[in-house]
Each structure stands twice: as C-alpha cells, then as structure tokens.
Amino acid sequence: MTDTIYALSTSQGRAGIAVVRISGPDAFLSLRSMSKDIQIKPRKTILCDLFTKEGLHLDRALVISFKGPNSFTGEDVVELHIHGSIAVIQKTLETLSKISNFRQALPGEFTRRALLNEKLNLAEIEGLADLIEAETEAQRVQALKVLSGKLGERAQEWRSMIIKAMALIEVTIDFADEEVPTDVSKDVKYILTNIINDLDKESKSINVAERIRTGFEVAIVGKPNVGKSTLLNAMAGREAAITSEQAGTTRDIIEVRMDLDGLPVTMLDTAGLRETNNLIETKGITRAIERANSSDLVVMLTEDGETLPEIKNPKTLTFISKCDEGNQENGLSAVTGFGLDNMIGSIKKELEKTIQNQGLATRFRHKEAIDRSISKLKTAKTCG
C-alpha cells in the first residue's frame, strides 16, 4: 500500500465541524503541503491555517496526527477538523487530490487497511459497523461487546484447547517407547466435549443477537375494530395506519420500526381476524395469522377477554381494549393512554427474557462457521 488515501469521515452536508481523514505513507506530507511551518506533533491537537496549492487561505482547522503503527489503520494518519460547510469540505478534498500519490479512499478502505495491518479482526470490524448503525441502547451494548474483541478472544481459547488435544494425541505417537501415558482418549474427549458445548450455546444464541441487530417483531392481533391500528398510531406517535369504524380497513401488514425503551422493535398492525367472503381480506387474514405465529411476541387485543384460536404463538400477551375508564385489569385504551405504559413494560419484560440468552456471536456467518466446527469436532470425537 504505497498510495495515501483520504476521505470525509463525517456525514455529508452542513455541520459545525467536518473531519477529513488521511492515511498512508505520505499522510504527514499533506500537512506540510497545506500549512506553513507547521510542527507536526503526533497525538497532539494543533490549531493551524490551511492553504490551497496556489497559496489561498482555505480554513483554520484543528489537526491531529498519529504515527503508524499506533493509529486506527496502522499507518501514518492525519485528521483535519475543518469547518463543516460544503464549500470548505469540497475545497479541502480538491486540495488533497492535487498532492502526488494521493487518492480518494474507496468505501470501507480505512477499515480494510486496519484489518490488513492487524489493528482489527473481522469480528471487530463487524462490531464497528454495527456500532455505527446502532439506533437503540441494546444495539449499542451488543456492538461494543463485539468491537471489544471478546468474540476473537473466545475463539483463541477454543483454538488453544484444540491444540492441547492435538498435542496429547501426538505425544503418544512421537514418544511411544517412552514412559508417557498411552491412553489419552478420555482427556481428549473431555476437551472436545467442552468445546462442543460452548460452541452449541453460541450457535443457539445467534438468533437473539441477530434480532437485536435487525429488530424484534411484535404483532398486534385481534378481531376487526378492536383498536389495533389506533394502538399502533399511539405507539408510533403519528398516523402510521388508517383507522375507521368500517371493519376490514387493514388488509396488508403495516410495519413501524421504533425504539421501545432501548430495544429495537418492529410493530406489526395486522388484518382483523374474522370469517369473510372477501378474497382480498381473506388473504390479508391468512398473512396476519402466519406473521403473528412467527413473530417474537404477539399483543392480542380483545374486548371480551376471548382468545383467538388461530394464534398459536406461545409468547402472547392479552390486553382488554377500549378501556377508556381505566378500571379493568390488563385494560388498555389507545385513545386515553390508559394501560399503555403497562403494555410497553410487559413487552419489554418478555423480550428481555430472550436477551438473557445472548452470547458473543452475532451474525449468521458466525453461526455457519460454528456449526461446521461442531460437526468436525463431533467427527473427531467419535474417531477416538
């Protein structure tokens, strides 16, 4: 990597401050080209004036430099903290483009260099991406756990245990005539069993981690005109679904993503469940039942306490709808707000039970690798 790359590291558009990152062997050259008589002091913040190649005053900026390998990418790195106007950003990037061997970074190229220079491993990079995308507290906590390198550390522990098992086997072969234990199969199987159990726990927990990344699905179900759409609108704080006294208004599933007290949740407003001859409504009802039964949680609304036999999801919370007077246990009124806090608390409590089983692996890519490892280790265990 002989070229030096640069890019805007903050979001596009106007802002108080914008950060332009530069990484590569000639990163410090950019400072010498753009500032007069600057004294570069790695890991120190310097206030200086920046100039174009033609000597025109560009901006007054804060500059931070990092000497490789002690930087994010492992290379020499410079960060220009400039004013965040579109004109200043464009002129800064234009000035950098005129420096020899400088080019604009490709998407993700800073992180790629960090990977190649062993500053981050692949799991940590995935954690970094998740942290940047995090919208809720649960997503932030999970992303930081992966970014901290705990998954990589756990993988190294498993690797060390496998190497130990291999060493036990090899020592009986290499020193067959020496006074060493000849039957190590029990020890080897014990080690492999522990690894398999650990991996199996991680594999089973990945669905939870994936849900935290993408959001839990909570389906609102009930008969027509029981208040499902009104409840969704109350939770969303806007008119996400059309409400009407006419039964069968909602036919397709309406999805609203929200932060439910720190948890990423997608609320589903479904078609009212009833017998009907309308083919389109029937199709909507079928979809509603299928989606509800596959959701992470169901909120069932009823006016008379009667349950719906079509809903077979074991994780179902039932609430009595349209309790405007607020005198009903598990009562709920999306109009007055009575019972909303109780319902949200109940949803959170149920979803948090699921989160308790969370492991370190967070992606289906991890699950595929773990499941392959389990299969190979089980084969090795039976060979003993």
Check residue 323 and give its pLDDT.
Answer: 80
H or E segment and range at residue 274: none
Residue 175 and residue 90 share a domain: no
Is residue 36 domain-resident? yes
Is residue 355 domain-resident? no
Give residues with Cβ within 8 angstroms of 31, minimum separation 6.
Answer: 38, 40, 63, 65, 78
**Which CATH number fits the domain that encloses residue 174?**
1.20.120.430
Mean local confidence (pLDDT), 320-340: 78
Decide which of 110 and 352 is more confident.
110
What is the residue-averaged pLDDT of the chain?
87
Residue 132 and residue 187 share a domain: yes
* Exposure letters 307-339 (e unless 16+ CB within 10 A, then b): ebeebebeebbbbbbbbeeeebeebbbbeeebb
Is residue 343 domain-resident? no
Range of the domain at 231: 216-338
pLDDT tens profile 269-289: 988 888 888 888 888 888 989
- Which residue's entry shows tokens 């060979």? 383
Check residue 51 and give its pLDDT.
Answer: 94
Check residue 333 and give its pLDDT.
Answer: 82
The 3-state DSSP class for residue 80 equals strand
Return the ∠ at Cα 69 (arms to 106 and 62), rounded to 5°: 70
Residue 269 and residue 155 share a domain: no
* Exposure letters 25-44 (e unless 16+ CB within 10 A, then b): ebbbbbbebbbeebebeeee
Residue 129 and residue 112 share a domain: no
Mean local confidence (pLDDT), 101-125: 94
48 DSSP β-pair partners: 61
**Which CATH number fits the domain that encloses residue 61?**
3.30.1360.120
Is residue 305 domain-resident? yes
Is residue 262 domain-resident? yes
Task: Among 116, 143, 158, identify where a domain stops.
Answer: 116
Residue 99 and residue 75 share a domain: yes
Residue 95 and residue 74 share a domain: yes
Is residue 47 domain-resident? yes
Residue 202 and residue 157 share a domain: yes
Residue 89 and residue 134 share a domain: no
pLDDT tens profile 152-209: 889 999 999 999 998 888 877 766 556 655 677 788 889 999 999 999 999 988 888 8
Is residue 283 domain-resident? yes
pLDDT tens profile 95-112: 999 998 999 999 999 999
Mean local confidence (pLDDT), 65-69: 94
DSSP characters over 203-258: HHHHHHHHHHHH-EEEEEEESTTSSHHHHHHHHHTS--S---SSTT---SPEEEEE
**Which CATH number fits the domain that encloses residue 329?**
3.40.50.300
Structure-token pair, residue 189: 């199987």
Counting the structural domains of the chain, the total is 3
* Exposure letters 51-79 (e unless 16+ CB within 10 A, then b): beeeeeebbebebbbbebeebbbbbbbbb
H helix runs in the chain, sequence order: 27-34, 86-97, 109-116, 122-133, 137-147, 150-174, 185-214, 228-236, 279-294, 340-355, 364-383
Task: Among 72, 97, 116, identify where a domain stops.
Answer: 116
Check residue 180 and give its pLDDT.
Answer: 55
Residue 266 and residue 229 share a domain: yes
Task: Among 61, 95, 116, identify where a domain stops.
Answer: 116
Check residue 326 and give its pLDDT.
Answer: 57
Check residue 109 and give its pLDDT.
Answer: 96
Residue 11 and residue 106 share a domain: yes
Q: Among 71, 59, 73, which residue's Cα sits nearest to residue 18?
A: 59
Label residue 67 by pLDDT band (50, 70, 90). very high
DSSP characters over 280-295: HHHHHHHHHHHHHHHS
Check residue 244 and give its pLDDT.
Answer: 46
Is residue 185 domain-resident? yes
Residue 102 and residue 149 share a domain: no
Residue 81 has pLDDT above 80, yes or no: yes
Residue 20 and residue 45 share a domain: yes
